[in-house]
Amino acid sequence: MNKLKYGFASLMFLFAGVALAQEQEAKQERESGHYNQSRFKQLYEEFSTPNSYRSASGAPGPAYYQQQADYKMDITLDDKNAKIYGEETITYTNNSPDNLEFLWVQLDQNVRAKDSKSPLRNGNGVNFAYTAGNFAETFVTEPFDGGFNIEWVKDANGKPLSYTINQTMMRINIPQALKSGEQISFSIKWWYNIPDHTVNRARSGYEYFPKDGNRAYVIAQFFPRMAVYSDVEGWQNHQFWGSGEFALPFGNYEVNITVPEDHVVDATGVLQNRKDVFTKDMMKRYNQAKKSYDKPVVIVTQEEVEAKEKGFAEKTKTWSFKTEPGKMVRDFGFATSRKFIWDMQAVKVGGKDVMAVSMYPKEGNPLWEDFSTKAVVQTLHTYSKHTFDYPYHKAISVHAKNQGMEYPMICWNYGRPNEDGTYSDRTKYGMISVIIHEVGHNFFPMIVNSDERQWGWMDEGLDTFMQYLTEQEYGKNYPEDVAPNENYPSRRGAPEKIVPYMAGDQSYIAPIMSNPENVYQLGANAYGKPATALNILRETVMGKELFDHAFKTYAQRWMFKHPTPEDFFRTMEDASAVDLDWFWRGWFYTTDYVDIGVGEVKKFFVSGDVTTQMKEYMAARNITESDLPPLVYLVEEGSADYTDAMKGKAPSESSKTLKEFMMDNMTAEERAKVKEPKYFYEVTFTKPGGIPMPLIVEYTYADGTKENVTYPPEIWRKNDKEVKRVMSTQKELVGIVVDPKAETADIDTTNNAWPMKDEKSDFDQFKEKVRGE
Ligand SMILES: [Zn+2]
């Protein structure tokens, strides 16, 4: 009878207990006024619905397709007048299920046309300073006429094709729709004036060297290029305004480049006529370079270049380049000058030989002969390890003043020493970093071919993240190149580097998921913040093993294909079993920041008697102590039920019920092993910032020992503003630090420690003064 009554009552009590907890929780949520489950809501509304083209896993779907554009081009450089002439035949294959009524071709150089609308779209008023070149260009001289001059567009039979130019886009009006599965060939003839890229801030052009009267050319976006047609955008014909980069289909290229005889050329693709364009000496050195795995071999020396700089060849030479079957490219770039020194070194990547190449005018030395090819080699190693083996046969770094631009197999990089050959650390690290970054772009977006025009971060963010990993490895492999006992001084990637941006004026911050034309600080938005986010994801949220596998899965799934942001987000979850919707939401879809701190710390001890609160509870419900299961009570230090006798006592000493429980349920042996906690704390952690993050805590005890606990980000799922954790310890707790290693990009660390560091904020001091406290 007794037993029955007891069982019934305890059931009642349990129900009451559950109800009480739910009520308390709901009350807490109401009172906090910040109940915000949406931070952990899945991204169904933001993501497009998966379909047969793109699977919910983040992999290409069974119906995935991509278009192909193959190019045959003859290009002539007029070095005297800085003009470029070209004729191309594009063969376009429609692999889409759609019939295409017209084709869109990109005319990027039209951003420099006299009538370009690009300079007219800025409403920022007067700058406080201008570069002299930019000032002259804007206010003094006639605008540079650098747009494409299209001479004709013809079909495969040589008949003129009608076309319509809308700024940087050209619509080819084909007579009949290009049906699904069909192919079309057409040709375009054009020329344009090459800009001085050091004046015009162009991505491509020449630098003029007044001392010897020569130019060094880095040429890209120089030919009418097919726009992308895809399941996501249809035609990607968003105009080229200048900030949003490029979207390009894959294809095969055959390009003949005619330049003055005394120039050297390197470009995307395999050089087809090396024996015709190389001297005997160059050929001999090239064959040495193919076997030189430890250091570069100079193919064209500074001495040879200095002799050439004095002349100007009237005759020409044609250099022929062709891409390899099965290793398509999405673009083509080349560099040419009589000023180029040239070095090469072989690198083993996945058992195959790749040539790491550098091309630079003598003005780049001694920096370039010492560091360029070395940086290329490190990039190929680190990136290949984290993605896939670099598939092309070479990777070229070309020195061009103030440039940092990427194309398949070739890129332009800054890093110019002073005229006397001296240089600052800033110049040296800037140069190594930009080479790593631009060579790294071979992986993102040249091979993992994302749409840069729409999503700048997909290539810049992923590349800057990989750049950080590569820089750190470079620093470890070449300790002589960094300050003693220091890591490579990476400018971006480490969590603390993004704090000033994320803590900045919200009206000048855009989410990462924005078009590059529409953001205020493109460097921080598309490069720094995503790089830091991925670094934190790897180091702190997922762990290296899960992250690296998922990141590699993404790279391999989308190698030589066109991924979207969702394909990346989904793959990272698909390959790791980590729900990251909250992370993508906070870091990529909002402008929230991270700020987590520690608030109140309350001390509790075990009471041997029924507490006042429990007595009230029983009275209200007509229950007596005998109706209840054995209970243990924690009372807060200093509260009505607290006595000094409780302090530091083992719970089984204070609580008769616990002692009985232990006697009944544990053997003497088990009881002997037990280390009873003597201190109980309720610690309040606060979250003024919007982004939920893992709660990383370092507890320090009276004997100086430390304990580190990381609570998962899900701790914030029901309490967006604060959570309370109960700590039971044998030793007295004397200190708490949140995010002790600064891993989370926490923007305000003044709330990260308990007891609070004694410096009071200016605002608090001000308040105290006013109140007269
Ligand atoms: Zn970049």
Say how many Å lie between the CA of residue 699 and the centre of ligand 1: 41
Kindly tell me if the per-residue pLDDT of 6 is higher than 50. Answer: no
Answer yes or no: are the C-beta atoms of 580 and 573 closer than 8 Å.
yes
Say how many Å lie between the CA of residue 245 and the centre of ligand 1: 10
Say how many Å lie between the CA of residue 144 and the centre of ligand 1: 26
Say how many Å lie between the CA of residue 156 and the centre of ligand 1: 37
Say how many Å lie between the CA of residue 492 and the centre of ligand 1: 12
CA R_g for the chain: 33
Mean pLDDT of 716-744: 95
Element (H, E) at 650: none
CA–CA separation, 666 and 673 (whole Å): 10
Report pLDDT for 293: 98
Say how many Å lie between the CA of residue 119 and the centre of ligand 1: 23
Mean pLDDT of 728-755: 96
Return all residues near 42 (Cβ < 8 A) that are at least 6 apart: 581
Say how many Å lie between the CA of residue 406 and the centre of ligand 1: 7
Say how many Å lie between the CA of residue 133 and the centre of ligand 1: 24
Say how many Å lie between the CA of residue 765 and the centre of ligand 1: 45
* Token pair 């607290």 in the structure block, residue: 642
Say how many Å lie between the CA of residue 742 and the centre of ligand 1: 26
* Tens of pLDDT, residues 196-241: 999 877 899 999 999 999 999 999 999 999 999 999 999 999 999 9
* Token pair 């360029």 in the structure block, residue: 372
CA–CA separation, 281 and 292 (whole Å): 16
Report pLDDT for 10: 47
* Tens of pLDDT, residues 430-469: 999 999 999 999 999 999 999 999 999 999 999 999 999 9
Say how many Å lie between the CA of residue 748 and the centre of ligand 1: 30
Mean pLDDT of 485-507: 94
Say how many Å lie between the CA of residue 731 and the centre of ligand 1: 52
Mean pLDDT of 519-540: 95
Report pLDDT for 18: 47
Say how many Å lie between the CA of residue 561 and the centre of ligand 1: 19
Kindly tell me if the per-residue pLDDT of 371 is higher than 50. Answer: yes
Say how many Å lie between the CA of residue 713 and the centre of ligand 1: 31
Say how many Å lie between the CA of residue 457 and the centre of ligand 1: 9
Return all residues near 84 (Cβ < 8 A) that are at least 6 apart: 75, 76, 77, 78, 191, 192, 194, 219, 222
Residue type, 327: K
Say how many Å lie between the CA of residue 674 and the centre of ligand 1: 58
Least confident of 54-58, 175-179, 593-597, 631-635: 631-635
Report pLDDT for 332: 98
* Tens of pLDDT, residues 332-347: 999 999 999 999 999 9
Closest by Cα among 398, 415, 454 to 220: 398
Say how many Å lie between the CA of residue 460 and the centre of ligand 1: 5
Say how many Å lie between the CA of residue 593 and the centre of ligand 1: 24
Say how many Å lie between the CA of residue 213 and the centre of ligand 1: 31
Report pLDDT for 7: 41
3-state secondary structure at position 574: helix
Least confident of 29-43, 156-170, 242-256, 264-278: 29-43
Q: Give 766's pLDDT tier (boundaries 50, 70, 90).
A: very low
Instruction: Provide, for the chain, the percentages of residues in helix, strand and coil under a 3-state DSSP scheme, each rounded to the nearest 5.
Output: 35, 25, 40
Kindly tell me if the per-residue pLDDT of 305 is higher than 70. Answer: yes
Closest by Cα among 211, 47, 27 to 581: 47
Residue type, 383: Y
pTM of the model: 0.92
Mean pLDDT of 276-302: 98
Mean pLDDT of 619-635: 90
Say how many Å lie between the CA of residue 523 and the centre of ligand 1: 9
Say how many Å lie between the CA of residue 421 and the centre of ligand 1: 27
Mean pLDDT of 603-610: 92
What percentage of residues in the chain have a pLDDT greater than 90?
Answer: 84
Say how many Å lie between the CA of residue 437 and the centre of ligand 1: 6
3-state secondary structure at position 322: strand
Say how many Å lie between the CA of residue 579 and the centre of ligand 1: 29
What percentage of residues in the chain have a pLDDT greater than 70?
Answer: 93
CA–CA separation, 497 and 515 (whole Å): 23
* Tens of pLDDT, residues 407-439: 999 999 999 999 999 999 999 999 999 999 999
Say how many Å lie between the CA of residue 529 and the centre of ligand 1: 14
Q: Give 768's pLDDT tier (boundaries 50, 70, 90).
A: very low
Say how many Å lie between the CA of residue 409 and the centre of ligand 1: 14
Mean pLDDT of 8-23: 50
Residue type, 224: P
To the nearest 10 degrees (0 to 180), the angle between helices 367-386 and 544-557 is 90
Closest by Cα among 106, 156, 118, 179 to 330: 106
* Tens of pLDDT, residues 665-711: 999 999 999 999 999 999 999 999 999 999 999 999 999 999 999 99
Q: Give 32's pLDDT tier (boundaries 50, 70, 90).
A: low
CA–CA separation, 10 and 17 (whole Å): 10
Partnered with residue 334 across adjacent β-strands are 219, 267
Report pLDDT for 726: 96
Say how many Å lie between the CA of residue 351 and the centre of ligand 1: 28
Say how many Å lie between the CA of residue 530 and the centre of ligand 1: 12
Kindly tell me if the per-residue pLDDT of 392 is higher than 50. Answer: yes
Kindly tell me if the per-residue pLDDT of 728 is higher than 50. Answer: yes
Say how many Å lie between the CA of residue 33 and the centre of ligand 1: 42
Say how many Å lie between the CA of residue 441 and the centre of ligand 1: 7
CA–CA separation, 225 and 246 (whole Å): 10
* Tens of pLDDT, residues 314-323: 999 999 999 9
Say how many Å lie between the CA of residue 414 and the centre of ligand 1: 13
Partnered with residue 737 across adjacent β-strands are 698, 753
Cα atoms in the 13 Å half-sphere on the side-chain side of 349: 27
Answer yes or no: are the C-beta atoms of 625 and 599 closer than 8 Å.
no
Say how many Å lie between the CA of residue 459 and the centre of ligand 1: 7
Kindly tell me if the per-residue pLDDT of 1 is higher than 70. Answer: no
**∠ CA 452-89-101 to the nearest 5 degrees?**
70
Q: Give 243's pLDDT tier (boundaries 50, 70, 90).
A: confident
Mean pLDDT of 375-390: 98
Q: Provide the mean pLDDT of the chain.
A: 92
Say how many Å lie between the CA of residue 453 and the centre of ligand 1: 13
Say how many Å lie between the CA of residue 243 and the centre of ligand 1: 12
Say how many Å lie between the CA of residue 439 and the centre of ligand 1: 9
Say how many Å lie between the CA of residue 625 and the centre of ligand 1: 71
Say how many Å lie between the CA of residue 526 and the centre of ligand 1: 9
CA–CA separation, 379 and 366 (whole Å): 21
Say how many Å lie between the CA of residue 434 and the centre of ligand 1: 8
Report pLDDT for 27: 60
DSSP state of 508: G
- Torsion sign (Cα): 502, 504, 506, 512: negative
Say how many Å lie between the CA of residue 248 and the centre of ligand 1: 16
Say how many Å lie between the CA of residue 518 and the centre of ligand 1: 18
- Token duo for residue 760: 């009071």
Least confident of 1-15, 105-119, 283-297, 675-689: 1-15
Say how many Å lie between the CA of residue 444 and the centre of ligand 1: 9
Say how many Å lie between the CA of residue 445 and the centre of ligand 1: 9
Say how many Å lie between the CA of residue 574 and the centre of ligand 1: 27
Say how many Å lie between the CA of residue 508 and the centre of ligand 1: 22
Say how many Å lie between the CA of residue 758 and the centre of ligand 1: 44
CA–CA separation, 42 and 570 (whole Å): 12
Q: Give 310's pLDDT tier (boundaries 50, 70, 90).
A: very high
Mean pLDDT of 496-505: 94
Say how many Å lie between the CA of residue 138 and the centre of ligand 1: 27
Partnered with residue 208 across adjacent β-strands are 215
Say how many Å lie between the CA of residue 85 and the centre of ligand 1: 28
Say how many Å lie between the CA of residue 431 and the centre of ligand 1: 14
Report pLDDT for 194: 97
Say how many Å lie between the CA of residue 757 and the centre of ligand 1: 41
CA–CA separation, 191 and 242 (whole Å): 20
Say how many Å lie between the CA of residue 222 and the centre of ligand 1: 19
Partnered with residue 604 across adjacent β-strands are 636, 680
Answer yes or no: are the C-beta atoms of 354 and 442 closer than 8 Å.
no
